[in-house]
């Protein structure tokens, strides 16, 4: 339930109207600050949202019983003892999210998002030298994480927002840009931005300026200067973005669906990011530690959704192209060959609302791949991977000729199509295509059962451990219990049948099936 409280401010003394106030009078705005354009103070409305979630996982056989990769790394982390649950792993964690919206009035809104004990694993901080005697838990080093804080104001010609805010866009499927608003999300796009949105010709037009990194400040050489200033703007990483969209929010769309009205929604986004210079990691600001980066990146995204009776067709495609003139982390080394990439990903969905209880969806998606070994979803180092490795850098500047292209597109990790293969083993959808039919049934008012099958294949067979394209077939089942206000729970079970692409070819070992259980309990504000 959304908790609301209303704070009524005291009205000004009408007898003082027209009388010049004293500068030191309590509650009076100083003359060097801009006064409000009206004498009446508005009511402030404070709204709270968010949730407290607890999640549990049980996984068995996630190493697929196929042995280590050629580089010697385990295919999946395994217990360090040979006792207990064998090839099984478990987890319990929690997160408290608190969203606060303060409507000051006159179209002025302040928003903050806090994460408390974010993904804190149960029992991870025993307050004792010997865990067996612990009766208390320590607080983590950063118990509160401020994820977003920004303000917006409604002007006569649009809405102006500034601060640390979520994803660039609210429309779309979330496979490319994703704010992480879901209860079970682990990630989320956050940026320091100034954004302006205005309605024109029945659509919303948005312009965004973002500073992704600003480099060292004057504090590095003069700590006494306040506020600290950007020491050299040429090392900033900046982004400009423009979008145009026509879309219905969830409530408006639901009304249209109930009325069986046809609706067409779409959105287009283009962005450019650049950085000229950079400071080598671990060095002090100086001409010797400055590095020429010459980063330029362009991204484009197009989305469309058509609601037609009981059917909905939705599709989104995204492109990312970039060039990095110098990828070295050492200022004494300049890489003459630029690293570049042209990456493409997309998906399409066909939905059928058979009745208020029955719902079905057929989804297909793809993410371009690179012919280097490994999928490039979780890159721990720039060391070239060996053939047969599950992951690794998708470029190699040490060989001749150099491999300086990175072609693997990566779905946002919050966009999940399964429980095991892409969510756990690979980390996200990359260098792959998939087909996912799903059916959902709502019963007994508050229960929903769901079943899905995901068939996937690699687009670049060289990326797989065996050099073959077929990845796996996964069956996922879910049961959800949701009260209208307050409580949400979901239990998922996944069974992965790995195919020849995950085979240990050097040792001649076929992979075995893997199982997963995932439980989410959430108390929502």
pLDDT in tens, 333-376: 665 678 999 999 999 999 999 999 999 999 999 999 999 999 99
Q: What is the mean pLDDT of residues 58-71?
A: 90
Query: Would you say 387 and 379 are in contact if contact means Cβ atoms under 8 Å apart?
Result: no
Topology of 3-11+45-219+232-524 in CATH?
Answer: Porin (2.40.160)
Place 31 in a pLDDT band, splitting at 50, 70 and 90: very low
The model's confidence at residue 42, banded by pLDDT at 50, 70 and 90, is low
- Reply yes or no on whether the pLDDT at 63 is more than 70: yes
Report residue 506 CA to chain centroid gap. 36
Q: Are 258 and 356 in contact (CB under 8 A)?
A: no
Round to whole Å and give the CA distance between 180 and 189: 7
Give the whole-angstrom CA distance, residue 513 versus residue 87.
12
Residue 485's pLDDT is: 81
**Are 237 and 295 within 8 A, CB to CB?**
yes
Least confident of 51-65, 169-183, 254-268, 385-399: 385-399
Does position 60 have pLDDT exceeding 80, yes or no?
yes
- In 3D space, the residue among 441, 416, 440 whose CA is nearest the CA of residue 429 turns out to be 416
Mean pLDDT of 130-155: 91
Q: Mean pLDDT throughout 66-86?
A: 77
Of 1-10, 26-35, 86-95, 366-375, the poorest mean pLDDT is in: 1-10
Average pLDDT of 166-186?
93
How confident is the model at residue 313, as a pLDDT? 97
Residues of the chain above pLDDT 70, percent:
89
pLDDT > 90 in the chain, percent: 63
According to the model, what pLDDT value does residue 5 have? 28
Confidence band, pLDDT 50/70/90 cuts, at residue 84: very low
Q: What pLDDT sits at residue 16? A: 34
Q: Pick the residue with more confidence: 485 or 53?
A: 53
Task: Please tell me the distance from the alpha carbon of residue 415 to that of residue 409, in angstroms, as a whole number.
Answer: 14
pLDDT at 62: 93
Rounded mean pLDDT, 293-319: 96
| Residue 506 or 457, more confident | 457
What is the pLDDT, as a whole number, of residue 86? 55
Say yes or no to pLDDT of 328 above 80: no
pLDDT of residue 513: 96
The string of pLDDT tens digits covering residues 190-230 is 999 999 999 999 999 999 999 999 988 888 888 888 898 98
Most confident by average pLDDT, 17-26, 73-82, 502-511: 502-511
- Which 8-state DSSP code applies to residue 258? H
Whether 188 shows a pLDDT value over 80: the answer reads: yes
The domain ranges of the chain are 3-11+45-219+232-524
pLDDT of 292: 87
Q: Specify the pTM.
A: 0.88
Structure confidence at residue 71 as a pLDDT band (50, 70, 90):
confident
Strand partners, 153: 108, 160
Please give the average per-residue pLDDT across 60-71, as a whole number: 90
**What pLDDT sits at residue 39?**
39
**Residue located via tokens 């959430």:** 522
Which pLDDT does position 332 carry in this prediction?
64
Whether 145 has a pLDDT exceeding 70, the answer reads yes
β-strand partners of 246: 266
Which of 120-130 are b and which e, b meaning 16 or more Cβ less than 10 Å from the residue's Cβ?
A: beeeeeeeeee
Does residue 17 register a pLDDT over 80?
A: no
pLDDT band, very low/low/confident/very high, at 41 (cuts 50, 70, 90):
low
The confidence band for 159, taking pLDDT boundaries of 50, 70 and 90, is very high
* Helical residues (DSSP H) of 294-440, grouped into ranges: none
Rounded to an integer, what distance in angstroms lies between the CA atom of residue 296 and that of residue 87?
Answer: 45
Task: Give me the pLDDT at residue 109, please.
Answer: 95
Q: Please tell me the least confidently modeled range out of 90-94, 119-123, 250-254, 419-423.
A: 250-254
Task: State the number of CA atoms in the 13 A half-sphere of 17 facing the CB.
Answer: 8
Tokens of 260: 């069986």
pLDDT reading at 9 higher than 70: no
């Amino acid at each position: 339930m959304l908790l609301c409280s209303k704070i009524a401010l005291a009205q000004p003394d009408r007898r003082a109207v027209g009388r010049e106030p004293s500068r030191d009078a309590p509650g009076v705005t100083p003359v060097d600050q801009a006064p409000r354009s009206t004498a009446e103070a508005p009511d402030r409305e404070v709204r709270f949202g968010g949730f407290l979630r607890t999640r549990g996982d049980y996984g068995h056989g996630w190493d697929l019983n196929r042995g280590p990769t050629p580089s010697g790394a385990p295919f999946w982390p395994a217990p360090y003892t040979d006792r207990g649950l064998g090839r099984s792993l478990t987890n319990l964690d929690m997160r408290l999210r608190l969203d606060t919206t303060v409507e000051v009035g006159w179209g002025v809104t302040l928003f903050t998002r806090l994460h408390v004990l974010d993904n804190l694993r149960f029992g991870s901080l025993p307050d004792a030298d010997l865990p067996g005697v612990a009766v208390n838990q320590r607080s983590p080093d950063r118990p509160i994480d401020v994820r977003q804080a920004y303000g917006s104001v409604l002007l006569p010609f649009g809405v102006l927002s500034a601060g640390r805010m979520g994803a660039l866009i609210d429309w779309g499927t979330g496979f490319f840009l994703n704010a992480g608003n879901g209860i079970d999300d682990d990630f989320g796009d956050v940026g320091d931005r100034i954004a302006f949105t205005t309605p024109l010709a029945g659509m919303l037009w948005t312009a965004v300026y973002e500073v992704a990194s600003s480099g060292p400040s004057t504090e590095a050489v003069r700590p006494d200067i306040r506020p600290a200033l950007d020491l050299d703007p040429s090392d900033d990483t900046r982004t400009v973005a423009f979008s145009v969209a026509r879309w219905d929010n969830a409530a408006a769309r639901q009304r249209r669906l109930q009325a069986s009205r046809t609706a067409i929604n779409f959105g287009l986004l283009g962005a450019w990011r650049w950085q000229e210079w950079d400071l080598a990691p671990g060095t002090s600001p100086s001409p010797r530690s400055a590095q020429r980066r010459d980063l330029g990146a362009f991204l484009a995204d197009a989305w469309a959704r058509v609601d037609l009776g009981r059917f909905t067709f939705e599709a989104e495609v995204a492109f990312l192209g970039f060039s990095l003139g110098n990828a070295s982390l050492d200022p004494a080394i300049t890489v003459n060959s630029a690293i570049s990439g042209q990456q493409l990903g997309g998906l399409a969905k066909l939905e059928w609302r058979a009745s208020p209880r029955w719902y079905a969806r057929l989804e297909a998606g793809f993410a371009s791949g690179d012919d280097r070994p490994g999928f490039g979803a979780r890159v721990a180092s720039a060391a070239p991977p060996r053939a047969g490795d599950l992951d690794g850098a998708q470029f190699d500047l040490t060989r001749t000729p150099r491999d300086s292209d990175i072609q693997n597109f990566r779905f946002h990790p919050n966009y999940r199509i399964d429980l095991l293969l892409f969510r756990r083993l690979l980390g996200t959808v990359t260098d792959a295509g998939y087909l996912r039919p799903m059916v959902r049934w709502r019963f007994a008012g508050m229960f929903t059962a769901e079943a899905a099958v995901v068939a996937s294949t690699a687009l670049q067979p060289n990326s797989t451990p065996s050099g073959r394209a077929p990845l796996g077939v996964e069956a996922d089942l879910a049961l959800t219990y949701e009260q209208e206000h307050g409580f949400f729970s979901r239990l998922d079970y996944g069974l992965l049948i790995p195919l020849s692409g995950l085979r240990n070819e050097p040792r001649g070992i076929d992979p075995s099936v893997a199982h997963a259980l995932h439980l989410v309990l959430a108390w929502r504000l």
